[in-house]
């Protein structure tokens, strides 16, 4: 099946991967010293997806969308949490 290379699909995939992994991580109890840990660990699937799509499968626009969601999300975590 051929996937259309679109920036908007990358934004949706990046946000969905972050959201699902964050929900999974929020099931665990984190100590007060690790209040940023679930947010930062939730970006790992986006980074892995970015690498796979950009390098292995040559979907540049989807990879850029995932990278944008990851980068903006990390900035928000560092400045707001």
What's the pLDDT tens digit per position in 16-63? 999 999 999 988 888 777 888 888 899 999 999 999 999 999 999 999
Residue 60 within a domain: yes
Residue 46 within a domain: yes
- Output the six-digit token pair for 34: 């690790």
Residue 69 within a domain: yes
Residue 36 within a domain: yes
Residue 29 within a domain: yes
| Element spanning 2, H or E | none
- pLDDT recorded at residue 9: 95
Residue 1 within a domain: no
Residue 2 within a domain: no
Phi-psi region at 29: left, alpha or beta (left = phi > 0; alpha = psi -120 to 50): beta
Work out how many domains the chain is built from and give that number.
Answer: 1
Note down the domain range covering 54.
7-80
């Amino acid at each position: 099946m051929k996937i259309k290379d679109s920036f908007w699909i990358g934004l949706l995939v990046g946000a969905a991967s972050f959201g699902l992994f964050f929900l999974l991580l929020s099931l665990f109890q984190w100590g007060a010293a690790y209040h940023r840990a679930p947010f930062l660990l939730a970006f790992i699937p986006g980074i892995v997806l970015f690498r796979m799509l950009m390098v292995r499968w040559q979907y540049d626009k989807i990879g850029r969308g995932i990278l944008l969601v990851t980068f903006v999300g990390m900035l928000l975590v560092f400045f707001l949490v």
